[in-house]
Amino acid sequence: MIRNYFKIAFRLFKKEKRTTLTNIMGMALGITCSILIYLWVQDELQYNDFVKNGDSVCYVMTNHPITGGDIKTWATTPQPLKAVLEEKYPVVDKVALLSWEPPTNFKIENGFLQQNGNYASPEIFDIFQFPFVRGGHEELYNKTKTIVVSERFASYYFGENWNAKNIIGEFITTDNEDSYEVVGVFKNLPVHSTLQFDFIIPFAEKLNKNPWLNHWGNFQNQMYVQLVDGISVEEANNRIKNAIIDNRPDEATTEELFLQPFSETYLYSNFEGGKVAGGRIEYVRILSVAAILILLLASINFMNLSTARAAKRSKETGVRKTLGALKANLRVQFLIESVLITGFGFIMAMGIVSVLLPEFNALTGKDIGLAFFTPKFIMMLVAFIVLLGLASGIYPAFYLSALKPTRSLTGGGVHNKNEAFFRKALMVFQFIITMVMIIGATSVYKQVSYIQNKNIGFDRENLVEVSMGDINPTGNYQAYRKELLEKPGILGVTPINQNILDIGNSTSDPEWDEKDFNEITSFTIMCTDPDFLSTTGIRLKEGRNFNRAMAIDTANFIINTAAQKVMQMKDPIGKRLGFWDREGKIIGVIENVHINSLHVPIEPFIIRYDLPMTSKLLVRVEANKTTQAIASLKALHDKFNPGKTFNYNFISDMYKGQYKSELLIKDMVFYFTIIAILISCLGLLSLVTYTTNQRAKEISIRKVLGASITTILRLLSKEFLVLIILSMVIAVPIAYYFIWGWLQNFAYRITLSWVLFVISGAVTIAIAIFIIGMQVLKAANANPIKSLKTE
Amino acid sequence: MLLQIKDLFKWVNSGGNRVFLLNDIDLTVSKGDFISIMGPSGSGKTTLLNVIGMLDDFNEGEYTFLDKSVHTLKEKHRANLYKEYIGFVFQSYHLIDELTVYENIETPLLYKKHSRSERKALVADMLDRFNMVGKKDLLPSQLSGGQQQLVGIARALVANPKLILADEPTGNLNSKQGTEIMEVFKTLNEEGVTIIQVTHSEKNAAYGSRIINLLDGRIIYN
Ligand SMILES: Nc1ncnc2c1ncn2[C@@H]1O[C@H](COP(=O)(O)OP(=O)(O)OP(=O)(O)O)[C@@H](O)[C@H]1O
Ligand SMILES: [Mg+2]
């Protein structure tokens, strides 16, 4: 019996090759998408999964209240908090501090080895239980001039065969001439970890070098804690929330603590009002929903086509019933067919996935291998495919098996109103999904291009950041500057104290005459010199720039418009402003510049002429001469910093880096929308083909009676077009709702204009008309005798 | 008694008017009967046969089949009757287009859970009986109308039904073939099989023990 079903299925497939192929292709595309998205989502969810203690390991966040009741959340803590948590808070088992550290250079035989690592409390290894292959981390507790390194580090530093040497007790030297004794080699950290380092030096060493870190006011380091067994994160949070407020001895503060489970730090990295407000998890969700919708599209194709084919199948159904078939037998038969179609789709999808995987990895920056296809995964997929087949086949199966024998034997009754309505509803639903995706993709595309092209207030192209190294900003910097500006390709240089795209330090210390001391207003500060404006290209709105010749200017300030606004000054030039032991005047106002990400509004910003604070250089290079300019920079760097590594970064690259997830989502949404359109078009194509075939006789008779091709075209496409326009009307508000929600993530965003919706709709309708037109024309142009004869 | 129909009406509504397809039908069929239904085209023969075969429903009246009211018959019971008791021969054959001659004849056996070898033997027997051995691997579309009709008859007989409902079983056959089929029916009837056939031919009707004349959905008694 089952064999018989298979036989029939295969013969049917062969007989209706085109329909079957479109069905299989639609399924294959849908399955491909969902496999890819599944792999991506799994990879995302895998982050920080490796910790054995699960939720008891937490990242410590601090909430800093600022102006207007808003709260800033940072992953920084003051150093004395560690001891306080350990001693006074029994819910906390272990505490580890971890510095934020730029890459460090280590001296090797002929040059330098740059590695990422941190100063950290040795407890970090107790909390995360990273295994050691040599030695251990115990010595880190006892001596400060010690270091543990990763296997990777060891093989770079000591050579591939470091394993054969006894490297424990060897010394490693940094380019600052600090030497550390190797006391352990740990296994490379898991790839799927937000915590990444290749060496750890005891935090005590950092404290020795920077005793000011012992101050409660310095929120400088990351902190991980392990909670006592059986304590929930929620409970611990309640207990330690006020640990800073309650324990800071010198002055009253407002910073609250909260714990984020380590397993969530990757996916939930956005904070609003002191609470978790999503992050990458949103993209995981968006794409998961997209995967489900795309699968839905594919199975709707199948359902639509199977029910449309009902007329053809109904005779068989009727005959089988008179031969004693139960409805159940017939359902099994139809379900086998749909599972077969999905099965073929699946096989095709596996082929496509294995071809696309490298591209997909390149697109998403992941390293998903075919190793994912474990027997267990395959089994799961097979189960899923059977389920998908059943889900797609269930409606047609029930529908077909329920037809009355005489009705189906006489071919009547299949054009039942309910059924036609259902098929139309499915098609409308399908087009709604497609259109929402098209509108979504277009909006995402527009927003991301907006970010990329937005005039952020200064020209970020051809702007390079280099480290200052041993150059003394108040000493030999002037000599360096003079020499650099003579080199080809260099247009300007200015010293700065922090990355221009990521000015993190903010302070509420500035004081002015009419300041309302009840309000906390925070300002971001840039310490630089008079060349800052010319190098960045930021324009002065009023007032003047700093003047090198005027010694007094080091106590004067330039502010941005946002700062002028919060200080409520109508005419700011010449007004008193003071903070951090400098008392001076506002001498200039600049336009609002997007210093930080477009995700947040422009903040009040103050520029100080403060050379001693600077640590980096910002260099404007000439377009088309970047290679030459970088070479000049390196030459000068080597001259002023003998023996140090030269690092540089283009600001434009950094800018793109800020929007990595958006760029990724833009690409993914784009590709998946294309696939969704393809699937829907396949569905529409076969449905149109099907109905025109069904009406072939009618078309022929009309032609014989003298109807023109245009009349026929109109007659046949009207029904479809009405449905598509209806879908559009429904899709627009849905799309608007979701896109609007997504855009709320950006403080600076595109306005959703109706043009976008109209264009998206017009594109869809154009595609649909094209498909319908092609098929209908084919039918209309066919020789009428042919179809009349075959009937 | 095999089946009994009492005061049965079947109608369709067309433009507000009731059009009667079957009008006040009374009919009793006993086991072993051989009945021929006759009447002009459009008189309702096929409709009546479909109602008897429970393929079609009716609007008013009583119909009991093997002492069970057809109204209350469950799908499963009905399917069982088709499987075990009734064999249909359709006016327009109704073969399954995707199946070969052999497979078409085999299909009723599939629902009866015969073993493979049994099925083979039974189908071979039928092919033999109707001289179709050479055609067993052809699809219906590759057969002439008469050949298709023979396959339809073979399919109806293969499962040894106790009641055969045949709608113009010889309509597309030549007179020699037609006579052969009638002889087959006669033999089956002598073995106790009940037969109800629709026919236009007086000669074929004469094989039966009783003739029912239909006109405009009514039985004409003379
Ligand atoms: N579903 C229906 N709706 C309307 N009229 C119907 C329907 N089914 C059958 N009829 C009508 O009922 C009448 C009887 O049809 P039926 O097929 O039973 O005739 P018949 O006696 O078998 O004719 P023939 O000898 O041509 O096969 C016809 O006039 C037909 O048009
Ligand atoms: Mg008839």
Query: DSSP label at A214?
Result: G
A350 and A408 co-located in one domain: yes
The predicted model gives B178-195 an average pLDDT of 92
- Chain A within 8 Å of B75 (Cβ-Cβ)? yes
Structural domains counted in chain A: 4
The predicted model gives A375-380 an average pLDDT of 84
Which among A2, A315, A319, A332 is the top mutation candidate for probing chain B, defined by the most B β-carbons within 10 Å of its own β-carbon?
Answer: A319
Q: Separation of B46 CA from ligand 2 center, angstroms?
A: 4
Which atom of ligand 1 is least distant from the CA of B14? 4
Provide the pLDDT for residue B69.
Answer: 92
A564 and A607 co-located in one domain: yes
C-beta atoms of A322 and B55 within 8 A? yes
**Residue A300 in contact with residue A429, Cβ under 8 Å?**
yes
> Among residues A560, A588, A580, which one has the least CA distance to residue A507?
A580
B51 lines ligand 1 (CB under 6 A): no
φ and ψ at residue B41, rounded to 5 degrees: -60, 135
Helices A696-704 and A754-781: crossing angle in degrees, nearest 10, is 70
Other beta carbons within 10 Å of B76: 11
Q: Give domain limits for chain B.
A: 32-57+72-220
A313 and A186 co-located in one domain: no
C-beta atoms of A323 and B83 within 8 A? yes
Provide the pLDDT for residue A652.
Answer: 82
> Among residues B157, B102, B111, which one has the least CA distance to residue A330?
B111
A493 and A581 co-located in one domain: yes
C-beta atoms of B82 and A319 within 8 A? no
The predicted model gives B77-100 an average pLDDT of 88
> Is residue B34 predicted with pLDDT exceeding 90?
yes
The predicted model gives B133-142 an average pLDDT of 91
Provide the pLDDT for residue A415.
Answer: 52
- Distance from C-alpha of A726 to C-alpha of A731, rounded to nearest angstrom: 9
Find the helix or strand (DSSP H, E) in which A480 lies. helix A477-486
Query: Does residue A410 sit in helix, strand or coil?
Result: coil
Provide the pLDDT for residue A261.
Answer: 92
pLDDT grade, residue A649 (50/70/90)? confident
Which among B21, B58, B78, B97 is the top mutation candidate for probing chain A, defined by the most A β-carbons within 10 Å of its own β-carbon?
Answer: B97
Q: Separation of B32 CA from ligand 1 center, angstroms?
A: 28
φ and ψ at residue A16, rounded to 5 degrees: -110, 60
Q: Which residue has the higher pLDDT, A310 or A115?
A: A115
Q: Separation of B14 CA from ligand 1 center, angstroms?
A: 14
Provide the pLDDT for residue A723.
Answer: 86
C-beta atoms of B82 and A15 within 8 A? no
Mean predicted lDDT score pLDDT of chain A:
84
B43 lines ligand 1 (CB under 6 A): yes
Q: Separation of B46 CA from ligand 1 center, angstroms?
A: 7
- Distance from C-alpha of B161 to C-alpha of B142, rounded to nearest angstrom: 28
Provide the pLDDT for residue A414.
Answer: 47
> Is residue A5 predicted with pLDDT exceeding 90?
no
Q: In this complex, which of B99, B103, B111 lies closest to A325 when CB atoms are compared?
A: B111
Distance from CA of B222 to the nearest CA of A (A): 31
Q: Which residue has the higher pLDDT, B139 or A756?
A: B139
Q: Which of B8, B12, B21, B216 to mutate to test the pocket of ligand 1 (most atoms within 8 A of CB)?
A: B21
Provide the pLDDT for residue A413.
Answer: 47
Mean predicted lDDT score pLDDT of chain B:
91
C-beta atoms of A4 and B80 within 8 A? no
Range of the domain at A204: 54-266
A448 and A510 co-located in one domain: no
B40 lines ligand 1 (CB under 6 A): no
Q: Which CATH number fits domain B32-57+72-220: 3.40.640.10, 3.40.50.300, 2.40.30.10, 3.60.150.10?
A: 3.40.50.300
Q: Which of A404, A407, A410 to mutate to test the pocket of ligand 1 (most atoms within 8 A of CB)?
A: A410
> Among residues A743, A769, A747, A744, which one has the least CA distance to residue A756?
A743
C-beta atoms of A318 and B94 within 8 A? yes
As given in the structure block, the two tokens for residue A789 are 């004869």
Provide the pLDDT for residue A227.
Answer: 93
> Is residue A561 predicted with pLDDT exceeding 80?
yes
User: Would A172 be classed as within a structural domain?
Assistant: yes
pLDDT grade, residue A791 (50/70/90)? very low
Q: Which of B14, B38, B45 to mutate to test the pocket of ligand 1 (most atoms within 8 A of CB)?
A: B45
Percentage of residues in chain A with pLDDT exceeding 90?
Answer: 17
C-beta atoms of A324 and B90 within 8 A? no
Question: C-alpha angle A406/A409/A415, rounded to 5°?
Answer: 90
**Residue B104 in contact with residue B155, Cβ under 8 Å?**
yes
Q: Which of B17, B36, B41, B47 to mutate to test the pocket of ligand 1 (most atoms within 8 A of CB)?
A: B47
User: Would A273 be classed as within a structural domain?
Assistant: no
E-strand stretches of A136-220: 146-150, 171-173, 179-186, 199-202
B50 lines ligand 1 (CB under 6 A): no
Provide the pLDDT for residue A786.
Answer: 58
Q: Give the model confidence (pLDDT) of A12-52 as tens digits.
A: 888 888 888 888 998 999 999 988 888 888 888 888 988 87
Considering A213, A248, A266, which residue would you say is the last residue of a domain? A266
A410 and A423 co-located in one domain: no
**Residue B89 in contact with residue B196, Cβ under 8 Å?**
no
Query: DSSP label at B13?
Result: E
A490 and A509 co-located in one domain: yes
A596 and A698 co-located in one domain: no
Q: Give the model confidence (pLDDT) of A683-712 as tens digits.
A: 888 778 777 777 777 777 777 777 777 887
Provide the pLDDT for residue A789.
Answer: 46
Q: Whose Cα sits closest to atom 16 in ligand 1?
A: B44
- Chain A within 8 Å of B82 (Cβ-Cβ)? yes
pLDDT grade, residue A790 (50/70/90)? very low
Which ligand minimizes its atom distance to the CA of B10? 1
A14 and A95 co-located in one domain: no
A249 and A322 co-located in one domain: no
From chain B residues 23-52, the ones with a CB under 8 A of any chain A CB are: 50
Considering A643, A672, A700, which residue would you say is the last residue of a domain? A643
**Residue A382: strand pairing partners:** none
User: Would A271 be classed as within a structural domain?
Assistant: no
Q: Separation of A321 CA from ligand 1 center, angstroms?
A: 21
**Residue A258: strand pairing partners:** A61
In chain B, which residues have their Cβ closer than 8 Å to the Cβ of A333?
A: none
Provide the pLDDT for residue A407.
Answer: 67
The predicted model gives A211-220 an average pLDDT of 82
pLDDT grade, residue B197 (50/70/90)? very high
pLDDT grade, residue A416 (50/70/90)? low
Q: Separation of B47 CA from ligand 2 center, angstroms?
A: 7
As given in the structure block, the two tokens for residue A381 are 């997929």
User: Would A275 be classed as within a structural domain?
Assistant: no
In chain A, which residues have their Cβ closer than 8 Å to the Cβ of B108?
A: 323-324
Q: Separation of B42 CA from ligand 1 center, angstroms?
A: 5
- Chain A within 8 Å of B142 (Cβ-Cβ)? no
The predicted model gives B188-201 an average pLDDT of 93
Provide the pLDDT for residue A126.
Answer: 92
ipTM confidence: 0.87
Provide the pLDDT for residue A183.
Answer: 94
Percentage of residues in chain A with pLDDT exceeding 70?
Answer: 94
> Among residues A625, A519, A532, A612, which one has the least CA distance to residue A567?
A519
pTM of the predicted model, to two decimals?
Answer: 0.76
> Is residue A419 predicted with pLDDT exceeding 70?
no
- Distance from C-alpha of A297 to C-alpha of A216, rounded to nearest angstrom: 58
Provide the pLDDT for residue A596.
Answer: 67
A570 and A679 co-located in one domain: no
Q: Give the model confidence (pLDDT) of A59-114 as tens digits.
A: 999 998 876 667 888 888 999 999 999 999 999 999 999 988 877 888 887 777 88
Q: Which residue has the higher pLDDT, A733 or A662?
A: A733
A371 and A492 co-located in one domain: no
B46 lines ligand 1 (CB under 6 A): yes
User: Would A278 be classed as within a structural domain?
Assistant: no
User: Would A387 be classed as within a structural domain?
Assistant: yes
B42 lines ligand 1 (CB under 6 A): yes
In chain A, which residues have their Cβ closer than 8 Å to the Cβ of B97?
A: 315-316
